[in-house]
Amino acid sequence: MANPWRGEVSLVIDGERHEARLTLGALAELEAALQADSLVALVERFESNRFSSRDVLALLLAGLRGGGAEMDAATLEHAQIEGGPMAAARAAAELLARAFTVQA
């Protein structure tokens, strides 16, 4: 089960539950993969619903790796994500939100 206090998000991929989270290393990987000007620009894309499927895949892949999964982009691109594309987009947005939420 995902621990939101650690920034984790649960995702079922090909029938297997994964806990994804954006560690500092995962965030650096994400910036490089998306060639983003900044993470703030990426957050703004999600907040304004201007994100692409490439953004979602890159976020999920970085989060899965940050959570300890050994998965490559090709595997994720062809995987069955429980809940479909909308669930994948929600999980990606939640990963971003949890990575930048200050816990009290």
Q: How far is CA 16 from CA 12, 13, 80, in A?
A: 5, 5, 10
Give the predicted TM-score (pTM) of the model: 0.87
Spatial contact of 62 and 30, defined as CB atoms under 8 Å apart: yes
- What string of pLDDT tens digits covers the 104 residues of the chain? 778 778 899 999 999 999 999 998 888 888 888 877 777 888 888 888 888 899 999 999 999 999 999 999 999 999 999 999 999 999 999 998 888 776 65
Instruction: Return the amino acid letter for 62.
Output: A
**CB-based contacts of 12, cutoff 8 Å, min separation 6:** 18, 81, 82, 83
| Residue 94 CB neighbours (<10 A) | 21
Express each pLDDT in 72-86 by its tens digit.
999 999 999 999 999
Task: Give Cα 67 distance to the centre of its chain.
Answer: 10
**Domain range list for the chain:** 4-99
Q: How far is CA 41 from CA 60, 97, 99, in A?
A: 17, 13, 15
